[in-house]
Amino acid sequence: MDIQNLIAIDTHVHIESEDQGAAGEAARKYFGNTGVSYGRKQLAEYYRSRKIGCVVFSVDERITGRPQVPNDEVAAFAADNSDIVMAFASVDPTRGPAAVAEARRLIASGGIRGFKLHPPLQQFHPNDKIAYPFYEVLNEAKMPVVFHTGHSGIGTGMPGGGGIRLKYGNPMDIDDVAVDFPDMPVILAHPSFPWQDEAISVCLHKPQVYIDLSGWSPKYFPPNLIQYANTLLKRKVLFGSDYPLITPDRWMSDFAAIAIKDEVRPLILKENAMRLFGLA
């Protein structure tokens, strides 16, 4: 990344196919139509024009029927736009030896800087031992992993929530993972409603655990999250938008209006991500 030219790093950006089906339509209804394109060229133009770097991924999941953009395509997109883009891969860890082999292949390729997991969509508890062989590969490589936590906008309002079970988003499950894999940096994605206190506790207790602020407008952040972001967790909180469902334009406008200390803002917007990803 062209760090000196960037004003921020968005740690939570989705590359999606245009065909999002019923789950995608429900998500756009829940979040509101941002009007941005799902195209990759448009994504790169959006972030480059705003001097914002981004971490991109597409989730490996089967429950919603939304197709994953292949990890190799995500890596190729990042390579073509390396001044602003870093690629994370997504592999469903419940797929056993195939998931382990794919993680090893992707890490060896050199185009991947981390992994994205979505337990509610992949239908597993993060501390289920079925995922441990997968974590062992990431831990050995010191690869960061983003875990979706808290409520899922995907499935909201659909019959039966689209089959998505919110229990898999409890961040306390990830405390076990952080204990057992201390060399694998962990990012708890999103304000973790209704488990915000649990997320703060895990992040405060485990040195390698971070929180990204994606998926919510900052004007809806709970007071305890703002309190800890300003104080004990000021070096462990990351800017993330959840593009294309929430844009950096909206997120940063709302972030400017909340009670974050002036000296903390650059940490959240850029410097914490630089340190975590070894970009400093």
The pLDDT of residue 280: 75
Asked if 29 and 157 touch (Cβ cutoff 8 Å), the reply is yes
- Residue 167 CA to residue 156 CA, distance in Å, equals 14
- Residue 174 CA to residue 135 CA, distance in Å, equals 12
Instruction: Look up the domain containing 81 and give its range.
Output: 3-276
The pLDDT of residue 29: 67
The pLDDT of residue 64: 87
Q: Give the DSSP letter of residue 243.
A: B
- Residue 79 CA to residue 221 CA, distance in Å, equals 34
H helices present in 123-192, as ranges: 132-141, 172-180
The pLDDT of residue 38: 76
The pLDDT of residue 37: 76
- First-to-last CA distance in the chain? 11
Q: Phi, psi (5° rounding) for residue 253?
A: -65, -45
Asked if 38 and 16 touch (Cβ cutoff 8 Å), the reply is yes
Strands across the sheet with 52-57, in order?
8-14, 52-57, 85-89, 114-117, 145-148, 186-189, 209-212, 237-238
- Residue 244 CA to residue 178 CA, distance in Å, equals 29
The pLDDT of residue 56: 98
Asked if 239 and 268 touch (Cβ cutoff 8 Å), the reply is yes
Alpha carbon 279 to its chain's center:
18
SS3 content of the chain, % helix, strand, coil (to 5): 45, 15, 40
The pLDDT of residue 30: 66
Q: What's the domain count of the chain?
A: 1
Which H or E element spans position 203? helix 196-205
Q: Go through the chain and tell me how many residues it has.
A: 280
143: CATH = 3.20.20.140
pLDDT 10s digit of each residue in the chain, 280 long? 889 999 999 999 999 877 666 766 766 666 776 777 778 999 999 999 999 999 999 999 989 888 899 999 999 999 999 999 999 999 999 999 999 999 999 999 999 999 999 999 999 999 999 999 999 999 999 999 999 999 999 898 999 999 999 999 999 999 999 999 999 999 999 999 999 999 999 999 999 999 999 999 999 999 999 999 999 999 999 999 999 999 999 999 999 999 999 999 999 999 999 999 999 7
Q: Phi, psi (5° rounding) for residue 52?
A: -120, 125
pTM above 0.85, yes or no: yes
- Residue 122 CA to residue 64 CA, distance in Å, equals 10
- Residue 149 CA to residue 193 CA, distance in Å, equals 8
